[in-house]
Amino acid sequence: MFKKIGNWYRAQTDTTKALIWIGLICLIGIAFRWNAIIEGLTKGFNFYSGK
Domain boundaries defined on the chain:
14-49
Helix/strand/coil for 1: coil
Output the pLDDT for position 22. 98
Segment 23-39 shows an average pLDDT of 95
Q: What is the predicted pLDDT for the residue at 46?
A: 92
CA–CA dist 51, 45 (Å, integer): 9
What's the whole-number average pLDDT of the chain?
94
Is residue 12 within 8 A of residue 20, CB to CB? The reply is yes
39: how many CB neighbours lie within 10 A of its CB? 11
Read off the pLDDT of each residue in 28-37 and give the average, rounded to a whole number.
95
pTM of the full structure: 0.67
Residue 51 predicted with pLDDT over 90: no
pLDDT at 50: 82
